[in-house]
Each structure stands twice: as C-alpha cells, then as structure tokens.
A = this chain, B = another copy of it.
Amino acid sequence: MVQKFKEHVAAAMPFLNGKKLLLACSGGLDSVVLAHLCKALKFDFALAHCNFSLRGTESDGDEDFVRELASTFEIDVYVKQFDTEQYAEEQRLSVQMAARELRYKWFDELLQSKRYDYVLTAHHADDSLETFLINLSRGTGIEGLSGIPQVNGNVVRPLLPFSRNEIIEYAKSESIQWREDSSNASVKYLRNKIRHEIVPGIKELNPTFLQNFQHTQHHLRQINDLVNNHLNELKSKLFQQRKDKVQIKIAELQKLQPLDAYLYGLFNGYGFSEWSDVKDLLAAESGKQVFSKTHRLIKDRQSLILAKIERKESEAFEIHSDKAIDELPIKISLEDVETFEKQGQNVVFLDKEKLNFPLVLRNWKKGDYFYPFGMKGKKKLSKFFKDEKMDLISKEKQWLLCSGDDIVWIVGRRADERFKVDGSTMKILKITQFP
C-alpha cells in the first residue's frame, strides 16, 4: 500500500521533489497519513496546524498531537489559533467558510514569509464524492459538481486519487496513530450519513466507481474552463471600460441565450446574487440600481453601468454656530429658539450647552453608535441602519451631526437622547434640514 502511494506521488507530482512543502495537518487520519507519506518520500516539509478554537480542549488536544508528530519527525511546525466564530460573524460567513478562508489566508502568509513552495492538503477521493453529494442534495451548479483539482496553483493534493479505505489501510499497515476528528456537528451529520449510508451502495454500482467519478469531475472542470473562456471573450467584447466604470449595451445582453445563464456568468464574479433583480434591470427605468456587497449595476438609458462601490474616505465639515454654512454638502440651518416643538424627521431641538462647537458633519464609520432619542441605552449605527432597511449607498450617503465623537443627530432620521432638551436646558438650538 505504501509503495502504491509513493509511486503515485512520484509519477504525478515529480515537481514536489526538492521543494519546500507546507503540509496542512489537522491531526486527523488523512493529514497524518499524508505526513507519513511525505516522510517516506523524504520530502522537505513542515506541518501547519490551524486551531480554529471550535471544540475547546479537543482542539487543543489536536494541536498537541500535531506538535508531537512534528517533533517525532524532527521537522518544523506552525500553529495558529483563530477566532473562527468572530471572523464568521464579521464577514457574514458560515463557520465552515470562515475556517476555510482563515486557513488559506494563513497558508499564503506562511508561503510568502517562510518561503515555502507548495501547500499540501490531504483531500482524497471520498471527500470529493461526499462534497459532490452534499452539493447535489442542496442543488448546485457545475462548480459544485466539479470538485477540486489535484494541483491548483501552489496547493497540491497528493491523496486525491485514493479512497478513504486505502488511506486507512496505509495507516494500519504502518501502525499510524491519528486523532479522531469531530468537526462541525451539523455538517458532520450530513457527511456521515452520506459516508455510511449512501456512498457504500453507490460504489457497488461499478467496481471502478471512484476512478470513473474522478474522470467525470475532470471533464466537468474542463467544461467549466470552456465556459470561463467563453465568458471572458464575451466580457472583452461587451464590457466597455469607461474610466472607473464599465458600460454594457443592453441590446447586446438581450441577444444572449439562455439569458439567465449569461447574466449569472457575466455578473456573479461581482458579488451579485439576486438574479431576478439583475434580469429585471434590463427592462427597468433609467436610474434603477441593483447592489452587491462590492458593486452596483445601474440602468442608464440603453446600457447597464457596472461600478465598484467606493468606500470613500469620510469627509467631515465643521459647523460653527456663528458662521455661514453654505459650503456644507447638505442644506441645514441652525437657529437659537426660545421654545421647542415636537422633534420631526427634519427638525431637531437640542440643548445647546451640551454641545461642543464646532459641530462636525460627517459620514458614518465602523463602530459608530448613538443613544436613540426616546430610548434607554445605546445602539450600534450598523444595527440602526439594518433596522431601517437602508441599502449600502443610502448608508454611505447618510450624514451624521456630531459633537466631538458623539453623534447628535442622524440627519433626517433620528436624534440622540443625550442632547435633548430637558428641564435644565437654558439655551435651545433648533436645527432644520432642507431638502
């Protein structure tokens, strides 16, 4: 068995010889067998272990195990702890996707800083089949069925042609120890069901099922390459660069059949996901927009305009109580008054003595919070914007009137509790926003 593995790697990945390799090692069966294989091949390799801190002491046990393995092999080991859940929340990713991003980001850093040539991961044929079936059960496209290639840039997967059983055999024949992996429970449930209840039957359909499956995935990846070539040709024809924007003639898009698939193919790289909105845009009135996290598509007469959403440096304007305020980006007036009426959307009454002049008018920034008028306690602006169902552009356009660091008024939307007029107020300032 060991011989078979060695021969495959020697034949399929001769370029690994003499290179500096970084082996992603969880401590589980697959990556530990891969480590032993690299040792048997006399490769120049180190271990890299991600501690995602998702399973408490169990995670730490895995880390110890990998450190121990490296020490036995007398090779380097890199370990990094991640706060996966926080990152997932911040980036609005699933925990799995977050772990994946963190992992590959760190590997890239290590490749660069420590001058490694390749990252080796221990994916095998059953992983591919299980992922295929998971994606199939959820509904997927060609990418979800195509699987991962054995060599993808500087990421290499030496075990990809081998089945889990072959890897277990390898481990047994060499009396290799490993850590039982108990990752994300819900994923594990689905994967385990597939592994134990579906895959054995499927493999029985054909004695060479796993090989055939690999050929199928290879074909699908090639088909995907063809599609990408096609879409890139199409983009270079249809996407006309205009300074920092791209203009696309709608009439040209309309010629494409099947339109849905083309719209998806042309724009999914820009983060769009609401396909019916994108499609509707073709027939919408001029000025209508659709947003992704990073881009916007604007209907502009006979064209669509694709533009990056600029996260421009926030501008800030000072407002002196006694100065003309013509140069402001919005039209507001400040007025000392004797009495106050009810706050309105475009009018606020403030306790002037609680304010520090000059006031500042600025856009929102991450971490902003305020004390909503009429409520107890503070609220993050991001939460407020979400509750108000504001889109990205509206959020960026939103002006905040501030006293020092404190938000006084979310202009045109909500005043702050801290600056309200109360029984002890001596001077009332009325601020009005004009359309």
Contact = CB atoms under 8 A, between A and B. Distances in A.
A230 B133 CA distance: 29
Given A190-B205, A216-B140, A261 B225 contact: yes
A141 interface: yes
Given A201-B197, A201-B201, A219 B133 contact: no
A223 B222 contact: no
A62 B142 CA distance: 40
A227 B265 CA distance: 12
Copies in the complex: 2
Interface stretch (A90-98, A207-215, A397-405): A207-215
Report which residue of A194, A233, A258 has the largest number of chain B beta carbons within 10 angstroms of its beta carbon.
A258
Report which residue of A142, A211, A227 has the largest number of chain B beta carbons within 10 angstroms of its beta carbon.
A142
Given A138-B212, A142-B220, A258-B222, A193 B197 contact: no
B230 A226 contact: yes
A387 interface: no
A142 to B, nearest CB: 5
A202 interface: yes
Contacts of A239: none
A215 B139 contact: yes
Contacts of A212: 136-139
A216 B134 CA distance: 12
A94 to B, nearest CB: 16
A219 B268 CA distance: 14
Interface of A: 133-134, 136-142, 144-145, 190, 193-194, 197-198, 201-202, 204-206, 209, 211-213, 215-216, 219-220, 222-227, 229-231, 233, 257-258, 260-262, 265
